[in-house]
Structure 1
Amino acid sequence: MKKTIKEQKAVLIILLSNIFIAFLGIGLVIPVMPSFMNIMHLSGKTMGYLVAAFAVAQLVLSPLAGRWVDRYGRKKMIIIGLGLFGIAELIFGLGTNVGVLYFSRILNGFSAAFIMPAVTAYIADITSIEERPKAMGYMSAAISTGFIIGPGIGGFLAEYGIRMPFYFAAVLAFVACISSIFILKEPLTKKQLAEISAITAQTSFFSDLKRSLNPLYFIAFIIVFVLAFGLSAYETVFSLFSDHKFGYTPKDIAAIITISSIFGVIVQIFLFGKMVDKLGEKKVIQICLISGAVLAVGSTVITGFGAVLAVTCLIFLAFDLLRPALTTFLSRAAGKEQGFVAGMNSTYTSLGNIVGPAMGGILFDANIHFPYLFAAVIMVIGLGITVKWKEKQFTENNV
């Protein structure tokens, strides 16, 4: 029988600290992206392609990373991912041409392919099915908290140069990597890893992809794809939209993201687990998709800092609840295949992240409102797909 979250509090804190630091580094650079875009004379299309390059790299490596998480252990993959993340941020900060920036984003994609499946599988390993929604909510809150502090620090560091946040992110990643080597412990025994590895060795990427078409997983994976597709299109242009339409400074953008993230974290920590217990993953996801679509359309007509802040708080909350709801369902259905499911989750997310940012950047150049309307349409499509989600069937298949 697995220990309760309270009994494993120290382990969970260490693990959440790692994911927090990784996303703190990502959050640091958000406020400076418009300035970076203007100084290097980059178009919205190029910015979209830079985000898409990250997703392509994550897509290529995610299936292998998911298998390696099961074969070599969660800890090793987390360490490798954090190390790559630090190198990628350092290169981006030093980059002076688009080619170097693309290389950095590719390394960043590789790091994400290692970190996310490993952390998700790690948390699933140490929690019971009953407590997993709460633990996944904590993980999502740790990610959001990274964005809370990140943009604020990024806006402050930007006063000393727009490249400074990238250097700071690199240092944080290296600190997290070194700390993990000495503090984090592998949750599975060598025997358990060997057993899972024996099963993994009998499969290939294409067999894994075929296995993802199993009705037990497929509808959820499709929703993961649709969510990533619409969400990435929205998030990619958020800071650019705020800069071009309202003339917001990096500090203004940082303030909006920080307040919105705090709101999301509070709900995730105190209400997400209760919401899933009462409504189930399906209803939580549907409510979030409906809210997200309405608010994305609303984003195109609002004016004034207060209105922008209010709508952004609510739409970010919808996105923040969607992620752990989907992740909770998939980890609950995965059983002993945590690495496989986490890897496929990352793969389908990457597929959405490839097309979404590229489309968002192209649409932004055509009309700054189009990416938001595009995201709303995609979320409505996702809502339609959830109608085919037979939650009872998934529950019965999970042992």
Structure 2
Amino acid sequence: MQLLFKKRGAMLILMFNLLLIFIGIGLIIPIMPTFIEQLGISGGTVGLLVAVFSLTQFLFSPVAGRMADAVGRKKLIVSGMLLFAFSEWQFGYADHVFEMFFSRVIGGISAALTMPAVMAYAADITTNEERAAGIGYINAAITMGFMIGPGIGGYMAEWGIRVPFNCAAAVGVMAAVITALFLPESHSSASTGTVQKDHVPFFVQLAQVHRQPYFFSLLIIFALSFGLANFETIFSLFVDHRFGFSPKEIALIITIGSIGGPLVQLTTFGWLLGHFGEQRVVSACLLLSALFIVLTLLASTWTMLLVATVLVFLAIDILRPAVSTQMSKIDETQQGYIAGLNSAFTSLGNIIGPAVAGVLFDVDIRFPYILASVVLFLCFVLSLRQEKAVLHKASSDALRMTRK
């Protein structure tokens, strides 16, 4: 618990602000169908709005990560929160499709500025031993915001369909003010030296990323986002077709399924990584998430489906911060850039996953889940090879130290 109060309670401030931000994001989820229906927007346009947000985040995240290394984390976090507030306000008052797309572009930029800076900040103020717990706290705040937000948004919609958007904007401004007043800067570019790759264009860096030691972790990030996007995008459609569940029953399953993740992230996540190591936890969660998605396909009752959903979300909620922790230990001088790549590959999975899931669902409602399971299982097989390489390197290093 000492970590929460380290550096004038910086971790608590980060968690509180992320909780506010993701409550703000969650506020609008239950009223989006009604809002879009009132504006007469097609389902295809909705898909494009999601894709534009993720594409913008994908393009800007590595650049924002470099900026976080160059100018510090705090400025980007405050800027990102203010842009988030503006994008939500703009979307709430939009009367034309162009205004909605503009809002989603701004929202994508805000996510690109905020998330890499927050993850880099968490890495700055934690030691290697504390890193897992710190990133676990961050992910717990995000997950809890998503859980709380939709419920609050549903009640706020009773006062008006645009009220949740205005509240989300107010929450974003509040978070920005709290950060500006109370969060100390954690990073100085002079303290770690100048990053030599700053002049290299983004797409050149992306083409060369396969040479980096964190490339395999980025592949897992993509596979995880792709698989989760496949799972979540068609979940309501899948259970509606398969079981005929009502929206209330679907919401209840998702809400209960989301509870386990933050509980583990806040309590035992650091112990898991400390006891088993990041690589073993990553491998285990890849296998379990693939198996639990298959279990979802085999579920024949509400209870079985609930258990499968809880297990899928739990495995993924452990896997995501485990990979982030692993990446953060690779290069202490480029935390912002690595966190930016993490965010970019997450966005890439979020772009491709829903599009593929929608096409496959039209062919067979089981195909998106089958593909997600196969992709995660293939990453598990690759992770076994990575684990062997890690163990071999560790034993080689130990042997060299013994000889000295």
Deviation at 1:286, TM superposition (A): 2.2
Q: Output aligned runs, 1:357-372, within 5 Å.
A: 357-372=354-369
**Conserved? CA contact 1:276–1:284, under 8 Å:** yes
Counterpart check, 1:278 vs 2:275: yes
Aligned to 1:385: 382
Stretch of structure 1 that moved more, 345-354 or 387-396: 387-396
TM-score normalised according to structure 1 size: 0.88
Written as runs of structure 1 = structure 2, the 5 A alignment for 1:61-140 is 61-140=60-139
- Counterpart of 2:338 (choices 335, 341, 350) is 341
Residue in 2 that maps onto 1:19? 18
AA partner of residue 331 (structure 1)? S
Matched position secondary structure for 1:174: helix
**CA 1:94–1:239: 2 relative to 1, 3 Å:** farther
SS in 1 for 2:128: coil
Identical aligned residues as a percent: 42
Alignment CA distance shift 1:291-1:157 (3 Å): farther
**How high is the TM-score relative to the length of structure 2?**
0.87
Where does residue 143 of structure 1 map in the other structure? Answer: 142
Matched, 1:262 2:259: yes
Could you say which structure has the greater relative contact order, defined with CA pairs below 8 angstroms and 6 or more residues apart?
A: 1
Change (3 A) 1:191 1:334: closer
1:136-160 deviation per Cα after TM superposition (whole angstroms, max 9, x unaligned): 1111111111112112212322344
For 1:366 and 1:11, the matched residues in 2 are separated by 49
Quick check: 2:4–2:12 contact (8 Å CA) kept in 1? no
AA of the residue aligned to 1:209: L
Distance 2:297 2:130 in 1: 39
Structure 1 residues 292-323: Cα deviation after superposition (integer angstroms, max 9, x where no partner) = 22222333443554333322221111111111
**Number of residue pairs matched?**
393
Structure 1 residue 4 displacement after superposition? 5.3
Is residue 378 of structure 2 the alignment partner of residue 376 of structure 1? no
Shift of 1:187: 0.9
CA 1:58 to 1:190, structure 2 compared with 1: closer, same or farther past 3 Å? closer
Of residues 255-264 and 353-362 in structure 1, the stretch that sits farther from structure 2 once superposed is 255-264
Contact preservation (8 Å) 2:283, 2:384 = no
Provide the C-alpha distance between the structure 1 equivalents of 2:90 and 2:315, rounded to a whole number of angstroms.
33
Correspondences of 1:236-251 after superposition (within 5 Å): 236-242=233-239, 251=248
1:98 Cα deviation after fit: 3.9
Q: Which runs of 5+ in 1 are unaligned?
A: none
- Given that 1:302 and 1:308 are in contact with CA atoms closer than 8 Å, whether structure 2 keeps it comes out as yes
Partner of 2:173: 174
One-letter identity of the residue aligned with 1:24: I
CA-CA distance at 1:170 after TM superposition? 1.7
354-363 vs 383-392, greater mean Cα deviation: 383-392
Q: Return the offset for 1:252.
A: 4.2
Structure 1 pair 148/9, CA: closer, same or farther in 2 (3 Å)? farther
The answer (yes or no) to whether the contact 1:20–1:143 under 8 Å persists in 2 is: yes
> What is residue 350 of structure 1 aligned with on the other side?
347
Greater C-alpha radius of gyration? 2
Deviation at 1:200, TM superposition (A): 5.0
> Quick check: 1:314 aligned with 2:304?
no
Do the aligned residues in 2 keep the contact of 1:45 with 1:365 (CA within 8 Å)?
A: no
Q: Distance in 1 between matches of 2:74 and 2:360?
A: 40
Report the more deviating stretch, 202-211 or 319-328: 202-211
